[in-house]
Amino acid sequence: MVSTRQVGAHARRSKGALRSFWPQYLAISPFFVLFLVFMLFPVLFSVVLAFQKWDGLGEMEFVGLRNFEFLLKDSLFWLSLKNTFLIWFMSTVPTLFLALVIANMLNSSVRFTGFYRIAYFVPNVTSVVAVAIFFGSVFATNAGLINVILGWLGASPVQWLVNEWTIKLVIATLICWQWTGYNAIIYLAGLQAIPTELYEAAKIDGAGPVQTFFRITIPQLRPIILFTVVISTINGMQTFTEPQVLFSSNVANSANSGGPGSAGLTAILYFYREAFNNNDYGYGAAIAWAVFLVILLFTAINWRLVSRRARAS
């Protein structure tokens, strides 16, 4: 064990630190080496790419800000952003609400808690591709389970994967299914960290369960809720696999179009299509950076909104 005094002494002279702590540095190096090669370098390279025209194989041509000029006029890019926001909203709000409800139920349940926790977490570790294929079959117009059930109830079949709104609904449902359990487990951890004295005090003061929930549980959970909102924002803005797989049967006809009316074309799917299907890597990089800026802005807004309310109460 290295004593704290030693650490302090070495920290002043970093060269010495490197010499005496090399095994520790070596031990953590795999992550940083992999990060440098597979994350940092591509990130920096994409900055360069955003200012080039490049087909992936030939010479790069510097085009200045032209890719970004195209971006501003590109109606499909704006549509893809709109789609992304709508899908994010349609998935995140129910996900977080349901997660909170489930976490509360898990927190109070007495039997089989371990089983429930695992059961709710399983969707999150299931392959998105497999789930998307499954959802594609469930929501199929002719042969899909949902429409069969609707048929039993006497309703006419819905073209889930054709209509602009139902496409978004299907994608949002898929995301919701996948992330509710994950968020519930996080909330559960937060719930269990709330001191029981608070609840006891509330009980003594005569508060009912609803009052306790809104006056004690929610305020105490704020930092956790903030965390889940930020994570959901970052994930939701990058929705890609779901629409890509759901509409992949169209690949031969129209690669990664995001379904009829491009209603499922998310920003990341659009970036992927421009770069890898249409061989316009420069433009793809420009889209990716634009999306990055949007996520940054949007996360900041969410942060402000949620944390301000925390202060207000």
Tell me which residues touch another protein (CB under 8 A). Answer: 53, 55-58, 70, 73-76, 136-137, 140-144, 159, 161-164, 247, 249-250, 252-255, 257, 260-262, 276-280, 283
Q: Which is nearer to another protein, 242 or 280 (CB)?
A: 280
We find the least distance from the C-beta atom of residue 144 to another protein, in angstroms, to be: 7
Is 180:99 a contact under the CB 8 Å cutoff? yes
Measured CA to CA in angstroms, residue 261 lies from 43, 75, 168 at distances of 31, 13, 11
Q: Which is nearer to another protein, 58 or 206 (CB)?
A: 58
Q: Which is nearer to another protein, 236 or 264 (CB)?
A: 264
Measured CA to CA in angstroms, residue 125 lies from 76, 129, 175, 250 at distances of 32, 11, 13, 27
Q: How far apart are CA 92 and CA 171, in angstroms?
A: 12
Give the number of C-alpha atoms closer than 13 A to the C-alpha of residue 51, restricted to the C-beta side: 7
We find the least distance from the C-beta atom of residue 53 to another protein, in angstroms, to be: 7
Q: Which is nearer to another protein, 183 or 256 (CB)?
A: 256
| Amino acid at position 197, single letter | E
Q: Which is nearer to another protein, 30 or 114 (CB)?
A: 30
We find the least distance from the C-beta atom of residue 135 to another protein, in angstroms, to be: 11
We find the least distance from the C-beta atom of residue 94 to another protein, in angstroms, to be: 25
Q: Who contacts 179 (Cβ-Cβ below 8 Å, separation ≥6)?
A: 91, 95, 99, 123, 124, 232, 235
Q: How far apart are CA 170 and CA 242, in angstroms?
A: 9
Which of 252, 308, 295 has the alpha carbon at shortest distance from 277?
252
Q: Which is nearer to another protein, 95 or 262 (CB)?
A: 262
We find the least distance from the C-beta atom of residue 56 to another protein, in angstroms, to be: 5
CA dihedral sign of residues 262, 266, 272, 274: positive
We find the least distance from the C-beta atom of residue 14 to another protein, in angstroms, to be: 29
